[in-house]
Chains A and B, each alone.
Chain A
Amino acid sequence: MNRPALLMAPLLLFLLLTFATPIAAFLWRGVSDAEVAPVLPRTVATLADWNGTALPPEPAFAALVADLRDARARDRDTGGGSIARAAARLNADRPGFRGLLPMTARRVERPFPGPAQDAVFAISEDWRDIETWGAIRRAGGPLSAFHALTALDLQRDATGAVRPVPDNQAVFRAVLLRSLWISLLVTACCLLLGWPMAWLIATTRGWANTLLLGAVMLPFWISLIVRTAAWMVLLQKEGVVNAALGSIGIGPLTLMMNRFAVVLAMVHILLPFMVLPLVAAFRALDPRLPRAAASLGAAPWLVFLRVTLPLCLPGIGAGCLLVFIQALGFYVTPALLGGPNDQMLAWFVGFYATRSVNWGLAAALSIMLLVAVGLCVALYGRLAGFRRPGAA
């Protein structure tokens, strides 16, 4: 009977069109290169069997001239900007290309006597640099590790050897580590604050229980932007906290645009995701088991370590992973409450996609983010199983 599959079909089709395909197409850009090959097809073909230790031979220069003449004519006919797009891609590898390629295209248009090499050298000395040609070869596609390497602060030279980028250009490993560190810190704080709260909720009855649960559920429902706004109003230089501190002669303190504010607000936003699974775990705990251990002579810390903790571990793990996964993808809160050194992976994905229009790097960073999230989800599946619906 395939009626269930038929009922699912509209939603699966919808998600295929609005979710799976767009994401796949976007991520594909992180492992491919499609801007340069259509503009410089012959150059890329000539460079395929170049070893990268000395300047490429004359045919490569001739191919470059021929390719640029064709591309310029094509761009003029169709109004397309293929040369500009190729230049932008090459510029991501070798700064300076954004000007170099269009200028060279313009200057080789008129016929010239003698070998192509001399004419190209006359246009710019940059063409004497082996790495200029290396960049074209690296961008030849169709598959490419360039963006993935960039996202890991690595690069290839003209011979194809991989080495780390100079220290003053390395950013992304630090961003990855920072994202993991902030998420870990937030998870630890949530566990520390969430544990007593959850224990209290799990062991009280009546109105006290309703009140405590309400204190967790209400913020859970209030939108993230409102809670972030609340922290901004509290923490800013002329905000509630500084005004209160000022009245007792302290401050004003810089409480915002730093790591402290980011972690504080993220803990506030994610704490309910820790408390709710913990409450479920504590409620499922049979209270007779710790009591039995105690009656058999175990000290309180031993009861906790050997009985309570192991029994609650799946719930604790689920809560921690739920918080950690969400923390990794945070965008809005660090953007509003953090300084330049508190931005996480998500911010850089957005930055490279829109402000610097480097889709390849944005995609490579997204792949990094998704791999981290995927590992956590796999771990969550092992700990909690996928059968239970979410905390909501």
Chain B
Amino acid sequence: MARGALWAVGLLVALFLMAPIVAILPLSFSAGSFLFYPLPGLSLRWYQDFFGSDFWLPAAWNSLLIGTAAAGLATLLGTPAAFGLWRMTGAFRAVAMGVVLAPMVVPVIVVAVALLLAFGPIGLVATHAGMIIAHATLGVPFVVVTVLAALEGFDPVQLRAAAACGAGPLRAFFRVCLPQIAPGVAAGAVFAFATSLDEVVVALFIAGPAQRTLPRQMFAGLNDSISLTTTAAAALLVGLSVLLLLTVAWLQGRGKRQAGG
């Protein structure tokens, strides 16, 4: 009896979580231009509109470009830092950890406004470089946390073994450690990419018209009257998110198998 009630509530919560997303996806295939059901017919006109438009497609390219570059930069900086943190002990580790995780905790609006003020005089506002740097800053904690988690499954004795066999620290890292934690590093990069793909507030404050990302363009679209092209953009973003989720699940599965074997 109690179990039945629990299931009822649980299913209602699952419905609450999924329904809004599921509800808007079919709208993007509508042949009409209304935001409600029943659909007058099915068509791909809103996707044609998306791919033919002067601002949606560039926004999608901006998102991919800025996301990839920001994820690359965050991974390049975050992976060695995670390795350093992993070998570290004591008070300095706690402080360093706090500094690295701070961008996760500080409200994004504060980062956005502070960067607007700091980037202004050095000419980084309304540039791709500025957006990439800002998004890398926001994504780097996710890389560090994920790589640290992957390193938990790595036995440090192997590094000593490598050193005993004559490998320098750099060689030992690249030949022994990195291959084993690679799924974790890749998952961290995906997290950083997803963070950039999700980000609106920084884009709202420091991106110019030429750096508009997909979420930023959606924000603009939602502020006027919502067109069905916006739902097509939303559907494409949902597809991309599902792809990223599956990628991470696959990478984490691989990481576990590697740690186990």
Contacts and interface: CB of A to CB of B under 8 A. Distances in A.
Given A329-B107, A390-B145, A6 B245 contact: no
A342 to B, nearest CB: 16
Interface string A1-23: 00111111011101100111111
B260 interface: no
Contact of B114 (A22, A211, A215, A226): A22
A346 B107 CA distance: 8
Nearest to A14: B77
B21 A233 contact: no
B205 A373 contact: no
Interface in B169-191: 169, 191
A353 B21 contact: no
B83 to A, nearest CB: 6
Contact of A332 (B17, B35, B114, B200): B200
Given A221-B245, A392-B145, A331 B108 contact: yes
A187 interface: no
Contact of A11 (B80, B88, B197): B80
A196 B107 contact: no
Contacts of A349: 109-110, 113
A355 B143 CA distance: 35
Interface stretch (B40-48, B49-57, B92-100): B92-100
A268 B97 contact: no
B9 interface: yes
Contacts of A331: 107-109, 200-201
A211 B244 CA distance: 18
Chain A interface, DSSP helix/strand/loop, else mixed = helix
- Classify chain A: how many residues form its interface, as a range: 35 or more
B34 interface: yes
A196 B17 CA distance: 14
A23 B106 contact: yes
B163 interface: no
Chain B interface, DSSP helix/strand/loop, else mixed = helix
Contacts of B23: 230, 233-234, 240
- Classify chain B: how many residues form its interface, as a range: 35 or more
A350 B108 CA distance: 11
Interface stretch (A110-118, A286-294, A362-370): A362-370
Contact of B110 (A26, A194, A232): A26
Contact of A228 (B35, B102, B222): B222
A217 interface: yes
Contacts of A22: 111, 114-115, 117-119
A19 B103 contact: yes
A197 B230 CA distance: 31
B198 A223 contact: yes
Contact of A212 (B14, B77, B134, B215): B14
Contacts of B103: 15, 19
A316 interface: no
A389 B184 CA distance: 14
Contacts of B112: 350
Nearest to A8: B84
Interface string B226-250: 1000110010011001101100000
A6 B200 contact: no
A136 interface: no
Given A219-B21, A230-B21, A392-B191, A7 B111 contact: no
Given A15-B140, A332-B201, A231 B20 contact: yes
Contacts of B37: 240, 243-244
A328 interface: yes
A193 interface: yes
B38 to A, nearest CB: 9
Q: Which 3 A-B pairs have the closest CB atoms?
A: A329-B107, A7-B84, A243-B36
Given A11-B144, A222-B238, A349-B110, 7 more contacts: A12-B99, A20-B102, A22-B117, A23-B114, A200-B10, A329-B109, A369-B107
Interface of B: 6-7, 9-10, 13-14, 16-18, 20-21, 23-24, 27, 34-37, 77-78, 80-81, 83-88, 92, 94, 96-100, 102-119, 133-134, 136-137, 140, 142, 144-146, 148-149, 169, 191, 194, 197-198, 200-201, 204-205, 215, 218-219, 222-223, 226, 230-231, 234, 237-238, 241-242, 244-245
9 contacts: A196-B10, A219-B17, A223-B215, A225-B219, A226-B238, A230-B234, A233-B226, A238-B36, A350-B204
Interface of A: 3-8, 10-12, 14-15, 18-23, 25-27, 29, 193-194, 196-197, 199-201, 211-212, 215-219, 221-234, 236, 238-240, 242-244, 268, 271-272, 325, 328-329, 331-332, 336, 346, 349-350, 353-354, 359, 362, 366, 369-370, 373, 377, 386, 389-390, 392
